[in-house]
Structure 1
Amino acid sequence: MSRIAPLQPPYASDIQTQFDAIMRGAPPLMLFRVIAGHPRAWSKFRAAGLLDRGPLSLREREIVTDRTCALTGCEYEWGVHVATFADAAKLTEAEVRATVDGDSQATCWSSAEQALIAAVDALHHRATLSDEEFKTLAAHYDDAKIFEIILLCGFYRTVSYIANGLALPLEANAARFLRTAS
């Protein structure tokens, strides 16, 4: 069980409306139920505004999200995203696995995706991009997409801190980390 108790149904009507908008009819995730129990945290979380599509393609967005969650060891959020979006984002099993244990040079990625993975890795490990990393990223992505990449990395690192720090139990239908046999 989570270290902080989640809201239990029935939810207040405003919370139910917010859950419905985010979940599109599916039951709310444990993550949302825990955060929503704390109005200030829920308001700030929702205000981050990264639960919409933004300028990246679904595939690009999921590569950033999955890699960020994998690097933080957040199987909870990684698993939710893989189960929900991997097929729609046209991520192969090899690509999904590479988000966990591959590197930016993995041959499953296009050159643009390699630049994307390298940027996520740099932001995770050093909280910055070198001039060369930025130049490589900018060769494939415009300014709006670069901002979105950086914002997504920060947002999903925060989500990972919440899920990991509160020891959220894995969602029943979520994927589990896939690792290459050593």
Structure 2
Amino acid sequence: MPTRVAPAVPPFEPEVATIIDRTMKGQPPLHLFATLARDSRLAKKFFAGGLLDKGNLTIRQREVVIHRTTALCRSEYEWGVHVTAFAQHAGLTPEQVHSTAAGTAEDACWTPEDRVLIRLCDALHETCDIDDGLWQELQERFNENAIMELLMLAGFYRTVSYLTNGLRLPLESIGARFPV
């Protein structure tokens, strides 16, 4: 299925080019980034909203949430990019990566903390809310700032999934594919 919006062609607006170059570390831009570069305002807002910096979460916590959220939203594009770029660095095993897309929080591969994160993603995806029991479990493991970051992270990657799916972005050649 062809993309619905053609990506911008370099050279990009200088400020956007700088942001993309810093993010891509010398590699060609991802389809998503080149498409957003069509509108410098949207591109700057998108990059300003990202949560890939050092915050209240470990890379593992962050990636469990991103992998699960994008898988639930059926964004093979974004799930695949994050699996390729971050799964190994986050310490996710092949079984855990598989489970983010095709498993449950009860899969044997998950730690108790991972299970809470998976259940958080599932609850947000299904109801856009967190019941009191899950909230209590989150509070036992995370401080309030980390919980707010988890909510923002899941919401941001739901938005990214809307973009990748709605624009029909072609899968990145470097990206992992959903398990069959």
Q: Give TM class, smaller chain.
A: over 0.9
SS in 2 for 1:139: helix
For the pair 1:26 / 2:16, whether they are aligned, the reply is: no
Unpaired runs of 5+ in structure 2?
Answer: none
Query: Which contiguous aligned blocks of 4+ residues in structure 1 show a shift greater than 6 angstroms?
Result: none
Where in structure 2 are the equivalents of 1:98-109 lying within 5 Å?
98-109=99-110
Shift of 1:139: 1.2
Taking structure 1 as the reference length, what is the TM-score of the superposition?
0.94
What's the offset of the Cα at 1:174? 0.5
AA in 1 matched with 2:22: A
CA-to-partner distance for each residue in 1:92-146, whole Å, 9 max, x for gaps?
1100000001111111111111011101110111000000011011111111211
Shift of the 176–58 alpha-carbon distance from structure 1 to 2, 3 Å rule, reads same
> How many Å separate the matches in 2 of 1:43 and 1:94?
36
C-alpha separation between the residues in 2 aligned to 1:151 and 1:77? Answer: 17
Q: Does the CA-based 8 Å contact 2:96-2:109 persist in structure 1?
A: yes
* Residue type at the aligned position of 1:114: R
Identity among equivalent positions (%) equals 45
Specify the alignment match of 1:132 in structure 2: 133
Could you tell me whether the CA contact under 8 Å between 2:60 and 2:91 is conserved in 1? Answer: yes
Measured in 2, the distance between the counterparts of 1:48 and 1:124 equals 20
CA RMSD, Structure 1 to Structure 2 (Å): 1.2
1:36, distance to aligned residue in structure 2 (A): 1.7
Question: Secondary structure of 2:56's match?
Answer: coil
Report deviation, 1:168.
0.2
Query: 2:157 maps to what in 1?
Result: 156
Matched, 1:45 2:61: no
1:80 aligns to what? 81
Q: C-alpha separation between the residues in 2 aligned to 1:56 and 1:138?
A: 14
TM-score by length of 2: 0.95
Mean CA deviation greater in 106-115 or 66-75: 106-115
In the TM superposition, 1:168-179 aligns within 5 A as 168-179=169-180
